[in-house]
């Protein structure tokens, strides 16, 4: 299906039968989106919400992996949401993915409580005083807690999930203590955790988490995920995650 790209946009091949529209001058997806879509579990009959979907990468990756019966993406920035809708249309996924323009902080009012079996979120990692803010609004919003906080994400997810629903998030390890504490506070009991390392001898750079709504205490810490054997060479597991083996 031919698509008209706007100035500065490009069409990227996701190597899974789908393509996505991106604007390199704004914000392009990274490995965190790929890892989260792989880590999240969703049955074929389950309704999924991706909070802060940006240009739609996680909903598209989830559908490529046949996860969930329908994926809704919620995005506050109108330009990003519109780009996501165009990518959904380009891939002929309109029946399987819906993009909604709206604020994460108002998600429960938009969709209603107990509306989803699974929620995914790749939230802003930095609070206001962590790191330099990018001058471009789209990038700053994606990286810093400007329009929503960790508390906003968790409180809304707790309301939106059905009983025993699952919450999946990727974040930075330096905030892990805060994250686990607040997940428990909001009734999203941590059940799985996996730390992601660029190299086996390096500190982890990301953490993948699963929370269960109303779950009992008890968390499985999975073996570390190592991305590179050496510079430019993926580990076998990373190859399977990124390229399907």
User: Shortest CA distance to 91 belongs to which of 48, 61, 67?
Assistant: 61
Whether residue 197 lies inside any domain: the answer is yes
Alpha carbons 224 and 91: distance in angstroms, whole number: 34
Q: Is residue 230 part of a domain?
A: yes
List, for residues 50-64, the tens digit of each pLDDT value: 999 999 999 999 999
Cβ burial, residue 232 (10 Å; 0-12/13-18/19+) = exposed
Q: Identify the domain containing residue 30 by its residue range.
A: 19-243
Tell me the percentage of the chain whose pLDDT exceeds 90: 84
Q: Which two tokens stand for residue 1?
A: 């299906």
Beta bridge partners of 168: 120, 210
How many domains would you assign to the chain?
Answer: 1
The neighbouring-strand residues paired with 209 are 169, 193
CATH number for the domain harbouring residue 50: 3.40.50.150
Would you say 127 and 152 are in contact if contact means Cβ atoms under 8 Å apart? no
For the residues of 147-176, what is the DSSP string, one character each?
S--HHHHHHHHHHHEEEEEEEEEEE-GGGH
**Domain presence at residue 90:** yes
Chain segment 131-148, per-residue pLDDT in tens: 555 455 554 444 534 568
Under DSSP, is residue 155 helix (H, G, I), strand (E, B) or coil?
helix
105 bridge partner residues: none
pLDDT tens digits for 190-213? 999 999 999 999 999 999 999 999
- Positions in the chain short of pLDDT 70: 1, 125-147, 245
Residue 31 lies in a domain: yes
Residue 74 lies in a domain: yes
User: Residue 178 falls within a domain, yes or no?
Assistant: yes
* Domain presence at residue 7: no
Report the alpha-carbon distance of residue 215 to residue 140 in Å, rounded.
34
> Tokens 């989803």 sit at which residue?
116
Question: 2 in a domain, yes or no?
Answer: no
The pTM is what? Answer: 0.91
* SS3 state of residue 146: coil
Whole-number pLDDT of residue 236: 97
């Amino acid at each position: 299906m031919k698509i008209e790209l706007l100035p500065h946009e490009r069409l990227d091949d996701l190597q899974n039968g789908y393509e996505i529209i991106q604007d390199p001058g704004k914000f392009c997806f990274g490995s965190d989106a790929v890892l989260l879509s792989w880590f999240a579990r969703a049955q074929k009959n389950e309704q999924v919400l991706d909070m802060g979907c940006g240009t739609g990468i996680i909903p598209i990756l989830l559908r490529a992996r046949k996860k969930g019966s329908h994926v809704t993406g919620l995005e506050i920035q109108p330009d990003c949401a519109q780009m996501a809708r165009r990518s959904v249309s380009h891939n002929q996924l309109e029946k399987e993915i819906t993009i909604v323009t709206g604020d994460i902080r108002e998600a429960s009012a938009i969709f209603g409580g107990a509306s989803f079996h699974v929620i995914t979120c790749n939230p802003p990692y930095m609070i206001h005083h962590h790191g330099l803010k990018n001058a471009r609004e789209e990038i700053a919003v994606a990286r810093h807690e400007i329009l929503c906080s960790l508390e906003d994400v968790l409180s809304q997810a707790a309301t939106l999930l059905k009983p025993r629903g699952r919450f999946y998030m990727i974040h930075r390890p330096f905030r892990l203590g805060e994250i686990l504490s607040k997940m428990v506070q909001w009734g999203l009991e941590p059940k799985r955790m996996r730390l992601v390392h660029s190299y086996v001898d390096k500190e982890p750079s990301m953490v993948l988490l699963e929370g269960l709504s109303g779950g009992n205490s008890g968390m499985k810490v999975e073996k570390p995920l190592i991305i590179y054997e050496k510079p430019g060479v993926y580990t076998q597991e990373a190859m399977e995650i990124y390229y399907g083996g």
